[in-house]
Amino acid sequence: MADTTHSASHGNSHGVAHGDAPHGHIGLRTYTFTFIGLLGLMFLTVGAWWVEKNVLAIPEWLGVTIAMAIASAKTFLIVYYFMHLKISSRLVQIFASLAFVFLAILFIIVMGDYFARGWPPQQGPLP
């Protein structure tokens, strides 16, 4: 929250200083490469799935990890380039990460409870 410069940059004085306001620019080349990267990652994840089903039996946790890593990479590409996070103010960058942080809190705490309880949950708490 220590963005005191931020307030100055949006102050009411008219010759507004740019400060950390968006000033970058993303070119067509970057968009194209991002898109190609996204397509590549998509085929990678489908390919990994096909290999897992038909060629090489890998443990499920590894398969899920690979799939989620690829999905995260795709999300990063979309958020960082397509959604202009790269050239956004620091504040917007922080906000963009908030949802992921709080979702992680939800997932980790709830799954912590389930791991401690065991499955099926109807059995109740572990001794």
Partner 1 sequence: MATTALPQGYLRDDAPGAIAWLKSWLLTVDHKRIAILYLLAINFFFLLGGLAATVIRIELATPQGDLMSSDIYNRAFTLHGIIMIFFFLIPSIPAVLGNFLVPLMIGAKDLAFPRLNLLSWYIYMIGGIFALVAAVFGGVDTGWTFYTPFSSTYSNSNVILTIAGAFVMGFSSILTGINFIVTIHTMRAPGLTWFRLPLFIWSNYATSLIQVLATPVLSITLLLVAVERIWGVGIFDPALGGDPVLFQHLFWFYSHPAVYIMILPGMGVISEIISTFSRKRVFGYEFIAFSSLAIAILGFLVWGHHMFVSSQSVYSGLVFSFISMLVAIPSAIKVFNWTATLYKGSISYRTPMLYALGFIGLFVIGGLTGIFLGIVAVNIHVTDTYFVVAHFHYVMVGGAIMAYLGGIHFWWPKMTGRMYNEVWGGISALIIFVGFNMTFFPQFVLGYMGMPRRYHVYPEEFQILHVLSTAGASILAIGFIIPIIYLMLSLRTGKIAGDNPWEATGLEWKTTSPPPTFNFDTTPIVNEEAYAYPPDAPERDAAAWKPGSPL
Partner 2 sequence: MATTTPTQAHGQGKDVHGHGGHDHDHAHVPGLQHHFNTPEQQKEAATLGMWAFLITELMLFGGIFMAYIVYRWGFPVHFVDAATHLNTPLATLNTVVLLVSSLTVALSVHAAENGKMRRVLLLFGATIMLGFGFLGIKGYEYAEKFAHCNGYSTPIAWATGTGQHAVDECLVPGRAFLYPESHGATHGGEPAPAAPTTAGAPTPYQLFFLLYFMATGLHAIHMVIGITVMSVIGWMTWRGKFSPAYFNPIEIGGLYWHLIDIVWVFLFPLFYLI
Q: What is the smallest separation between the CB atom of 101 and partner 2, expressed in angstroms?
A: 10
CA distance 50 to 24: 40
**Helix (DSSP H) and strand (DSSP E) numbers for the chain:** 4, 0
Binding flag, residue 44, partner 2 (CB under 8 A): no
CA distance 116 to 126: 7
- 5, 31, 58, 90: which one binds partner 2 (CB under 8 A): 31
CA distance 118 to 106: 18
68-107 residues in contact with partner 1 (CB under 8 A) are 91, 98-99, 102, 105-106
User: Which among 72, 78, 74, 80 has a CA at the least distance from the CA of 100?
Assistant: 72
Q: What is the smallest separation between the CB atom of 10 and partner 1, expressed in angstroms?
A: 5
Residues engaged in binding partner 2 (CB under 8 A):
9-10, 12-14, 16, 18, 21-22, 25-28, 31, 34-35, 38-39, 42, 45-46, 48-49, 59-60, 63-64, 67-68, 70-71, 74-75, 78-79, 81-84, 88-89, 91-92, 95-96, 98-100, 102-103, 106-107, 110-111, 114, 119-121
